[in-house]
Amino acid sequence: MNKKLKIIWLCYFTNKEVQDILKPRKRVGEIATWISSMIPLFENCSDVELNIVSEHRWISGVKYFKKNGVHYHFYNRGIPFWGRHWPGFFQFDALTNYFQLKKRIAIIVNKIKPDIIHLHGAENEFCTSIMQFLFRYPVLVTIQGFISKSSATLKVVELRKKKELEIIKAFKHFGYRTQTMGNDIHAINPNASLYWHHYPIKIIVPFDAEKKYDLVFFARVSKEKGIEDLLKTIALIKINRPNISLCVIGGGNTESFQMLAFELEISDNVTWAGFLPSQLDVHLLASQAKISVLPTYHDIISGTILESLFLKLPVVAYNVGSIHEVNEKEEIISLVEKLDVEGLAKAIVHLLDNPEVLKEKAEKGYQRANEMFMHSDEEIRSSFMNAYNTVIREFKS
C-alpha cells in the first residue's frame, strides 16, 4: 500500500460549517471561500492526507478536528488563553516580528511533518511564518494578490509589503492563475518556477431580481478598493441624474466614507448595507443592481468581478492588475484608467443610457466567466497534484 502524501495548507479561512464545530466566542463572516471550495477535492482520499493550518479569531489555544478525512488545525494569534485579538493600538505581532505567530505555526507543522507545505497567499501576516521552513520542507506558494502594489503607508502594511517581497524572492515554486500575475512574480524573482492552477468556483446562478439600484459596490469598503472614487463619481453623475442610486455592500470602517457622501451631498443616493453574513446574501442583494462597479487600485482579478460576471452584472472597473485579461477577445468589462473619476462616470452613464448594451455585456460577461474560470474538479485537482509532486521531487534532488 502506497504511503499517503502528507500535505499542509497554510492559509486563512473559515466558513459556517467550521464555526459550527469550533464555536468561537464571536462568529465572523466567511473568509477565503476559494479554500472552502477546494477542500472537497481532497476529502476521503486514498493518496493524500490533507492538513489545514489556519488562523481563527475568537478561539483559545489550538483547536483540532477531523472531518471527511481532512485534518483541521486552528489557532488564534491574539492574546494567549483569551481568544481575543490584540487591540488595534498595540501592534504586538509587528513589534515582535510575528514571534508568537511563527512559534504557534511551527509547533503544529513540525508535529505533522508534512511532505509539502502549500502556502496560500504571500500578502498576509501569517504568511511570514513560511520563512522558518525554507530548506526544511518543500514549499509551494500560491499568490493571491500583491500587497506590495498597495499605496497604503501604515507601518503594519509597509511591514507586510517587505515580508511579501522577501517570500517571493526566497522561494522558487509559485502557483498563479493569470499571465499578468506570472509576469509580476518573475519581475521579483526571475528564477521562479510557475504552476498554473485555478481554485474551484462555487456555481453561481444569476438571480432574476427586481432592479432597485443603478449601481452596486461589494468588496471591503476601503480607499484601496476605490470607494472614495466611486462616491465622487456618484456626485458627478448626480448633476444630470439626480436619482442615481448606489448600494454599498461590505465591511470596514465606513464612518469616514459616509461623511464624505454627506459632504458631496449624495447621502440620499447611497445605501450602506454593511457586511452580510454569507456569499449568497451578498449575491441576492447585488443582483438588485444594474451595474457592478469596482474601481480597485490594485488587484489580480477580484472575486467581486468574477462573481459579478457570473451574476450577469455588467462591470465597470479600473484597468489594473489582470482585469484586462477578461477583455482579451472583446470588450466585456468597461475599463477606465486608474484615478479617472470622470472616465468612471462616462462609462457608467453610457451603460445606463443604453439598455441593449447593458444586456449584451451581461450575457457576454457570463459566457466569458464560464470560459475562463469554470474547470472540472478533476482538472483542478490534477494541476495541484502535479505541482506538489514536481516541487517534492526537485526538493529531494
| Residue 10 β-bridge partners | 53, 119
In terms of domains, do 250 and 107 share one? no
- Average pLDDT of the chain is 93
pLDDT value at 132 more than 60: yes
Residue 261: closest CA among 227, 286, 295, 285:
227
The Cα 313–Cα 247 span in angstroms is 14
Q: Given pLDDT bands bounded at 50, 70 and 90, which one contains residue 2?
A: low
Q: Is residue 296 part of a domain?
A: yes
- CATH code assigned at 227: 3.40.50.2000
> What is the Cα 138 distance to its own chain's centre?
24
Q: Is residue 148 part of a domain?
A: yes
Q: Given pLDDT bands bounded at 50, 70 and 90, which one contains residue 158?
A: confident
In terms of domains, do 386 and 348 share one? no
User: Which residue has better confidence, 61 or 385?
Assistant: 385
Q: Is residue 273 part of a domain?
A: yes
Query: Tell me, what's the pLDDT at 30?
Result: 85
Lowest mean pLDDT across 98-102, 135-139, 210-214 = 98-102
pLDDT value at 151 more than 60: yes
In terms of domains, do 341 and 362 share one? yes
Q: What is the pLDDT of residues 244-297, one digit of tens each?
A: 999 999 988 899 999 999 999 999 999 999 999 888 999 999 999 999 999 999
Domain span including residue 349: 213-373
Question: What's the total number of domains in the chain?
Answer: 2
Query: Tell me, what's the pLDDT at 384?
Result: 97
Q: Cell digits for 14?
A: 473559515
In terms of domains, do 165 and 233 share one? no
Burial 66-105 (b: 16+ CB within 10 A, else e): eeeebbbbbbbbbeeeebeebeeeeebbbeeebebbbebb
Distances (CA, A) of 149 to 109, 158, 184, 261: 30, 11, 10, 27
In terms of domains, do 186 and 322 share one? no
Query: Tell me, what's the pLDDT at 202?
Result: 80
Query: Tell me, what's the pLDDT at 395?
Result: 96
Q: Given pLDDT bands bounded at 50, 70 and 90, which one contains residue 89?
A: low
The Cα 264–Cα 170 span in angstroms is 47
**Average pLDDT in the 362-367 region?**
97
Highest mean pLDDT among 95-99, 106-110, 123-127, 275-279: 106-110
Burial class (CB in 10 A: 0-12, 13-18, 19+), 108: middle
In terms of domains, do 253 and 151 share one? no
Q: Is residue 106 part of a domain?
A: yes
Model confidence, pTM: 0.85
Lowest mean pLDDT across 76-90, 205-219, 292-306, 373-387 = 76-90
Each as own residue / partner, the long-range contacts of residues 39-44 (CB below 8 Å, 24 or more positions apart, any chain) are 39/70, 40/68, 40/377, 41/200, 41/377, 41/380, 41/381, 41/384, 42/7, 42/70, 42/381, 43/68, 43/69, 43/70, 44/68, 44/69
Beta-carbon count within 10 A of 247 CB: 19
276 neighbors 288 (Cβ within 8 angstroms) = no
In terms of domains, do 337 and 316 share one? yes
Query: Tell me, what's the pLDDT at 150?
Result: 82
In terms of domains, do 230 and 261 share one? yes
| HEC sequence for 75-94 | ECCCECCCCECCCCCCCHHH
pLDDT value at 81 more than 70: no
Q: Is residue 208 part of a domain?
A: no
In terms of domains, do 145 and 237 share one? no
In terms of domains, do 118 and 28 share one? yes
Q: Given pLDDT bands bounded at 50, 70 and 90, which one contains residue 54?
A: very high
In terms of domains, do 234 and 165 share one? no
In terms of domains, do 118 and 192 share one? yes
Contacts of 282 (CB under 8 A, 6+ apart): 218, 249, 276, 307
What percent of the chain is modeled with pLDDT above 70?
Answer: 98
